[in-house]
Amino acid sequence: MKRKELIIVAGLIFLLPLNAQEKKYPEPAPMTPAMTEYWQPQPQVVTPDPVPSDAILLFDGKDLSQWESVKGGPAGWTVENGVFTVKRGTGDIQTKRKFGDFQLHIEWRIPEGIQGESQGRGNSGLFLQGIYEIQILDSYKNETYVNGQAASIYKQTPPLVNAMRKPGEWNSYDIIYTAPTFKKDGTYRTPPTVTVLHNGIVVQNHTIIRGTTPYIGLPEVEVHGDGPIRLQDHGDPVSFRNIWIREL
């Protein structure tokens, strides 16, 4: 190697690491507050009182025109003084409209002086999409199997606490429900979930519903689409009022 070439090679050996150290890449631009803010679309304005302005009233205190008998024909329950009451033997009733995901408010009352025990005291029920029962029962000083007391997902999940008011007083449920989605093979891709507030107290917190809620047997997965709100005639004169729903 000639002297000149040697100098060049030696120079490269020294310069290479130096070059690597000195190479500069661009820095990300500094974040500004506006980079993580967006303004459109603006949420719809909903006024909350007396009921949310985008809610569908399912009972106006006057008639059951939004409801029908599950057996077919008009709902046969009794309407009186802004309240409707289970009429024993007429069967379950359901809304004519069907729903997917929703927020539901409903108030219900066990009659004062109710007799009976366990499941035989103030029993009704609210079926989400006509299929999954949230239990309605007199659970005021009335023990029963815990996954069958008021605000349980019937025969699946008991409420986190017992928030029941006495017979004669009104109870409320505020329910946030997410409908299931299904795979082609008929199993849940995403199971239904429900959050329930009983008298303003969280008793089901995004609980997974595992399937149907039969009296006898295990939950089963049934493929379904939108469904009604269904109320149960279990033979007890449970009353209802102030029912509204918001589609989500």
Contacts to Mg ion by CB under 5 A: 123, 125, 232
Whole-angstrom distance, CA of residue 190 vs CA of residue 137: 29
Q: Report the residue number, 58 or 153, with the smaller CB distance to Mg ion.
A: 153
Nearest distance in Å: CB 215, Mg ion: 9
Q: Report the residue number, 125 or 228, with the smaller CB distance to Mg ion.
A: 125
Nearest distance in Å: CB 149, Mg ion: 10
| C-beta of residue 230 within 8 angstroms of C-beta of residue 84 | no
Whole-angstrom distance, CA of residue 161 vs CA of residue 192: 21
Nearest distance in Å: CB 86, Mg ion: 11
Q: Report the residue number, 122 or 180, with the smaller CB distance to Mg ion.
A: 122
Tokens representing residue 177 in the block = 């429900």
Nearest distance in Å: CB 148, Mg ion: 8
Phi, psi of 212 (to 5 degrees): -60, 165
- DSSP states of 177-223 as a string? EE--EE-TTSSEEE--EEEEEETTEEEEEEEEP-S---SSS------
Nearest distance in Å: CB 235, Mg ion: 10
Using CB positions, name the residue nearest to Mg ion. 125
Q: Report the residue number, 55 or 228, with the smaller CB distance to Mg ion.
A: 228
Cβ count near 90 (within 10 Å): 17
Q: Report the residue number, 142 or 246, with the smaller CB distance to Mg ion.
A: 142
| C-beta of residue 46 within 8 angstroms of C-beta of residue 52 | yes
